Chain A
Amino acid sequence: VNGDIFMVSWSRLLVITIFFCLLIAFSISSVYSLSEVDTVEIISEAEDALDVAYEAVSKAEQVGADVSGLWNRLSLAGEYLAEANVKYRVGSYENADYFAGLCIEMVSGVKGEAIELSSGATRQNEIDFFVSLFWSSVGVVIVGVTGFMLWIIFRRRYLERILKMKPEVVSGES
């Protein structure tokens, strides 16, 4: 009877041990794959953030805004994102998360600043355009009026000279 009890205890212990081993194995596996999925998500988020920031800065540059400071931030963010992708490819998910996070942090607020600079530059462009338009109009009017006056003066002098050259009719003596 004692032998049977001993066998039952050992078999129970064996089942419990196997159960816990499987539980630990599945837990580790699920944690590992969760970390990989998280890394893919955070890298994707960093890529989207950088793309959006790039588009905003690019548009601001096209309207003539001074975005040199923002380019420096984007360059650094690009380096972080590349580093995150490299770390991910070699399976270093923790480091990949870290660098993707740095990228997101670096580009946060860039879009807003780019839009602000863009609207400032657009306003300045409009002012510059109207100032140019005003001075160009003034220039055209000055050129036109001066040209017309010079033409009048020239024409008068020209006609006077022509008239002086005209042969006078002298009454003939018979």
Chain B
Amino acid sequence: MNALLDYEIEPERYEFFESLAALETTRRDFFRIVGGGVIVALLLGDEAAAQRPGRGGGPPEIGGWIHIGEDSAVTAYTGKVEIGQNIRTSLAQVVAEELRVPVKAVRMVMADTALVPPDAGTFGSQTTPQMASQLRRAAAAAREVLIDLAAEKAKVERTSLKVTDGKVSGPDGKLFAFGELTKGQKLMKLIGATAPTTKPDDWTVTGTSVPKVDGRAFVTGGHQYASDIRRPGMLFGKVLRPPAFKATLTNVDPKAAEALPGVKVVREGDFVGVVAPTAHEATAAAEVIRADWRGEKQISDKELFQHLKDRAGKGGGGFGGGGRGGGGAQGSIPDGLKAADKTVQATYTVAYIAHVPLEPRAAVAEWTDGKLTVWTGTQRPFGVRSDLANALGVAADKVHVIVPDMGSGYGGKHQSEAATEAARLAKAAGKPVKVVWTREEEFTWAYFRPAGVIEVNAGVSKDGLLTAWEFHNYNSGASSIRMPYAVANVRTEFHPSETPLRQGSYRALAATANTFARESVMDELAHAVGTEPLAFRLKNLKDARLRAVLEAAAKKFGWGQAPAAGRGYGIAAGTEKGSFVASCAEVAVEGEKVRVVRVVTAFECGAILNPDHLMNQIEGSVIQGLGGALFERIEFADGKILNPALSSYRVPRFRDAPALETVLVNRKDLPSAGAGETPIIAVAPAVGNALFQATGTRLRGLPLVPDGFKKA
């Protein structure tokens, strides 16, 4: 059979390939991976291509793809990473739906750079809007290919055939297992953005609460995280860390370490590490290396906020705040303030906080014939592959990164430090090496959610309408800085600054900081003109989706009642990444003791893929959000983290968990948006507003009560 005739490709898509020969190479690459059968791959349009890390390795124009093997097996390939958001399940649901097979019949191959299409990374709530839709289209097209093959085989009209329960059936009751149709085939179909899919109203698999597909492996301890990988002859690595940030190595004496049995010291410039047969011996060896460092004076958390203001515009601000510029301006702030009956001028702050994924950074690296394989926990497998290629001086196609489903990340695992360290040590040792960061290393040498200062200058008329809104965020970021309430005179601006600590992405980026400041000031304005806070918001709101979640949360909470003495109710709302959230909180204050009693959250992210997993994400976001709202903060001075341990950096525990109630607003008429981030953003202001009602004190810094409640 002429291979070229196997292709079906939309004519306008053909231009993506320079020639039919390139297309044939692509096809061969795919079948080298899977053997025979049918492949349907999605050709990326411009929008989806923006999620790509650029060209390098693999056929660059292909998005998610589906393979149906000669044994009927259905496999979907994606560069996305399972971090606990349960996309291994939701993506399998989408594929199962379109191919009319049980969910358990779909195997997901994820985040293995030798097998999956290049991908920029798993962040920004993009898996659901981008990857679920790509795989859905590919799976739907694969179903049509199977029908074509069956029609040809049975010599019947394709319209007389249908696909149910993993088989194609004809009018005479004849059934074809997928494998009977794909046997002996090497057929590849490329499809475009417009491939038709099942409408949400007709979903029977997506939209249902399918349990975590491999849940059993987690409760039995069978699942192997990157830190669990063991290789024959593997050694353990440990890296020598400076005593403080910005310290430079002036002298190192490794003799005492080298004298230990089985220990090898590796030094390349400022990088000093050891390998040893056990982690215990590697740690002991690193401890006896004598090193001299030259330090430099650095600011402490006491001077942080002044520093961020003073240095505004002077630094790059690091990465991870989200967005540039920020929201824009219209009207005139002076005019708006002149028209106001009451004004509020306030400064809000947020501290640096740590992600604390329970699995710290970890990697196992192994070199074979000049090729490098690394198992590691990262949200950016292809980014780590490039970093490894650059750091180790090898071509990217000689580097293979495998990301086992991870012990979470929350935006905190975008970098490649542990992978690079393991690869360097493995190269020097000539054996596989595992590096697992300690909790202290994780707290010190990873990166933090950016701290920030937010200044707000707002005006309101006595009838409760906003007249002016000026909002400046220093350092923390621009996400959700745009004003969602209607106001004629508005100016919102993000000012990058110089960060004394390493900072980066954190679940929802700066949307948490900006929503905290905005929704707290909205509360201040409501009280300033004596309007009830929910009514005040609704009065100034034109966005119907934000209104819907506010009303849904308020209804479930029973908003409008007066709290008992020592208790307070607070409400807040926000939107980010195409989804909408409102939270209501009840707090109890007894002396200095603060307890969040109850949190009700209403959330809308378009058409829901898996209601139970969505609930789980919302509940988890609320708990994690409570940590940053109430007590989490990084303390630092002179280049050192002062609380780099779980005994000194408090994260939420069982006792901190309030009663949680969640309202899912399902909008089947709207495209599905991601949901792992946005549910966190309204927690802190809801709690802050509740504390104000309970105590009469307005707390304007996150965390709100790190040392308990203090009267202003």
Q: Specify whether A and B are partners.
A: no
